[in-house]
């Protein structure tokens, strides 16, 4: 009977079961990665804010992606860094559930923003004459607001379903943060409804958006191949390839975790994949966009050499 069981008020995040020296090395390495994530995405935001040439729909969505990446990493990484140094790796129930909620919310929002960015590129390349009308600032604002709203509402559904479950032990979460699948393993009740909702949400938020992205880029590829100018084709490929790199990295790792059979990704492998899109992907996004985007590099030069008022 549930009445005689002790309810869990805190969890233990096992994190990475490594030697103290290895954990110290990971702390230094991950701290550098996190610092670069904050710096890179902040630079992207600053350039878009300061350079009027970047006040376009494409960079409007990119600025939202940078905000999501900063928030996404900041939700998971600081606690992981703290636990790499501390022997006591506890987290209270409420902060744990809040971490799960924000993790799902930012992940869902990023999926939807990547779709909006692909739609923006589709309109820009396939319908250039109608681009200013189709991608007006009002439309862009509605699309961005829809991405954030849907992302947080979907995350709220997951959290409500988690809160209906009893947690009466064990307390150990085999992860470096309160990832939803790892939290559900500790519930002392049937979690099949949660599993079904997670799978359905994955179809809606991963397979659906990825299909739209692939359809958009198939049509973009056809349009690019019709461009007569070699310079025009190179510019179009450069702009789109950056976005495709980000899409491939993010959607690929997420689909493996949440849609592949459990036997395909043991818990240790799941932790590595989660680390990839919690830390590495937010760090790589500004790097990909800056190295492969001439407009970003041009804006950086203009801001760097802009004369200062005396």
Rounded (5°) CA angle 20-26-31: 130
Q: Give 175-227 pLDDT, tens digit per residue.
A: 888 988 889 988 888 889 999 999 898 888 888 888 888 888 888 888 877 76
183 in a structural domain: yes
By the 8 A CB rule, do 65 and 116 touch? no
Question: Which pair of tokens denotes residue 215?
Answer: 């359809």
| Segment holding 11, helix H or strand E | strand 10-13
Predicted TM-score (pTM) of the model is 0.86
Domain range for 157: 8-299
Distance (Å, rounded) from C-alpha 53 to C-alpha 48?
8
In a domain, 308, yes or no: no
Is the confidence at residue 1, as pLDDT, over 50?
no
Residue 263 has pLDDT above 70, yes or no: no
Q: From CA 182, how far away is CA 149, in angstroms rounded?
A: 25
> Regarding beta strands 90-92 and 10-13, do their DSSP bridges make them parallel or antiparallel, or are they unpaired?
antiparallel
Is 310 inside any structural domain? no
Look at residue 242 and tell me if it is in a domain: yes
Structure confidence at residue 307 as a pLDDT band (50, 70, 90) = low
Residue 214, exposed/middle/buried by CB under 10 A (0-12, 13-18, 19+)?
middle
Q: Report how many domains make up the chain.
A: 1
* Residue 214 forms part of a structural domain: yes
Here the CATH number for the domain that contains residue 170 is: 1.20.1070.10
In a domain, 1, yes or no: no
Nearest by Cα to 79 from 220, 205, 175, 218: 175
**Residue 66, domain member (yes or no):** yes
Q: Is residue 309 part of a domain?
A: no
């Amino acid at each position: 009977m549930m009445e005689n069981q002790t309810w869990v008020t805190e969890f233990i995040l096992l994190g990475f079961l490594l030697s103290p020296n290895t954990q110290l090395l990971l702390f230094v390495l991950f701290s550098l990665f996190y610092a670069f994530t904050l710096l890179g995405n902040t630079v992207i935001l600053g350039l878009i804010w300061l350079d009027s040439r970047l006040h376009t729909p494409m960079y409007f969505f990119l600025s939202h992606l940078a905000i999501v990446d900063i928030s996404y990493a900041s939700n998971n990484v600081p606690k992981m860094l703290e636990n790499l140094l501390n022997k006591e790796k506890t987290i209270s129930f409420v902060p744990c559930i809040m971490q799960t909620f924000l993790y799902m919310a930012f992940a869902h929002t990023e999926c939807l923003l990547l779709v909006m960015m692909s739609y923006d590129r589709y309109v820009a390349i396939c319908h250039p004459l109608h681009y200013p009308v189709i991608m007006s600032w009002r439309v862009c604002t509605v699309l961005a607001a829809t991405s954030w709203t849907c992302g947080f509402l979907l995350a709220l559904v997951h959290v409500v379903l988690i809160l209906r479950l009893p947690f009466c032990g064990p307390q150990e979460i085999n992860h470096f943060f309160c990832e939803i699948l790892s939290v559900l393993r500790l519930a002392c009740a049937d979690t099949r409804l949660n599993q079904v909702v997670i799978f359905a949400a994955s179809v809606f938020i991963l397979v659906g958006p990825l299909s739209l992205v692939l359809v958009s880029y198939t049509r973009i590829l056809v349009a690019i191949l019709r461009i007569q100018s070699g310079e025009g084709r190179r510019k179009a490929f450069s702009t789109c390839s950056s976005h495709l790199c980000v899409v491939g990295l993010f959607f690929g790792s997420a689909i493996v975790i949440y849609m592949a059979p459990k036997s395909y990704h043991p818990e240790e492998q799941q932790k590595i994949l989660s680390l990839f899109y919690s830390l590495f992907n937010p760090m790589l996004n500004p790097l990909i966009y800056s190295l492969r985007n001439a407009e970003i590099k041009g804006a950086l030069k203009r801001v760097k050499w802009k004369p200062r008022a005396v």
